[in-house]
Amino acid sequence: MNMNKHIIKKELLVELKNSSSLFLITPTMTVLIIIFPILIENRFAVDEDLFIVSHLLFLIIFSTLFAIRKPIILERLIRELNFGNYKKIEFFNSKVVSEFIIFLPQIIILNILYSAFTNSSVNVSIFYFLFSIIFFAINASMINIIFQIFTSFNNRFVQFILITPMYLALSFFIGPLWLGLGQDIANIYILMYLGITVLIFAVTNFYLERAN
């Protein structure tokens, strides 16, 4: 796999700088946005499935906000890659690794805070829950970077509108898992998610390799 440790280190430093406020502020505010309307309306007894749907909704919103926090400027990226004599495929793989390392802990924090504040939980074992979160984080990171290096949309609002449906599609595999499935069907969903992850990664790497 084409990766460059210097790009990973650089992107990690950039990601950490960009994400310092996201680690606690954004997940906490997201949870509070969910909780306040429920407390105000005194609807303490809310259907568990509704909490899971809201959980997925705010996971998608948070992921989209994370994705558009600092758009990649293609002209600057091309100049930097040419200056360092790096290939786009090296940048893609390295950027995916760095963004995943930063993104995964944040959505774990978001899920923990959501469950703590709402006193709710998903109807799935911790094993399937972690796998679904990991696959979602990997795919969300890849889709974000693919979208940014293959398009020229620098407007955050446009990016929000276009990326949200992609993340919504990813959540279709998480929703049934969190709502509760038998072990055999849950295994099938996990394998499907794995297949999608491998397919996205392989096709993107193949295209970038051919482009170089």
The model's pLDDT over 104-120, given as tens digits with 9 standing for 90+, comes to 888 888 888 777 777 77
Q: Which two tokens stand for residue 123?
A: 């109807």
Q: Residue 185 burial by CB count (10 A; 0-12/13-18/19+): exposed, middle or buried?
A: exposed
What tokens does 12 get?
A: 């990690």
Q: Is the pLDDT of residue 139 over 70?
A: yes
Q: How far is CA 95 from CA 15, 27, 41, in A?
A: 10, 23, 43
Determine the pLDDT at residue 138.
92
pLDDT at 40 over 70: no
- Buried b / exposed e over 17-41, threshold 16 CB at 10 Å, is eebeebeeebbeebbeebeeebeee
CA–CA distance, 23 with 135 (Å, rounded to integer): 20
Mean pLDDT of 70-97: 78
CA–CA separation, 123 and 56 (whole Å): 13
The answer on pLDDT for 45 being more than 60 is: no
Query: What pLDDT does 121 receive?
Result: 73
Mean pLDDT of 169-181: 81
Whether residue 181 has pLDDT greater than 80: no
pLDDT of 96 strictly over 80: yes
Cβ count within 10 A of residue 184: 7
Distance CA 146, CA 150 (A): 6
Quote the pLDDT of residue 98.
86
How many structural domains comprise the chain?
Answer: 1
Token pair 């995943």 in the structure block, residue: 100
Structural domain boundaries enclosing 145:
5-211
What is the pLDDT at residue 11? 75
Q: Is 180 left (phi over 0), alpha (psi -120 to 50) or beta?
A: left
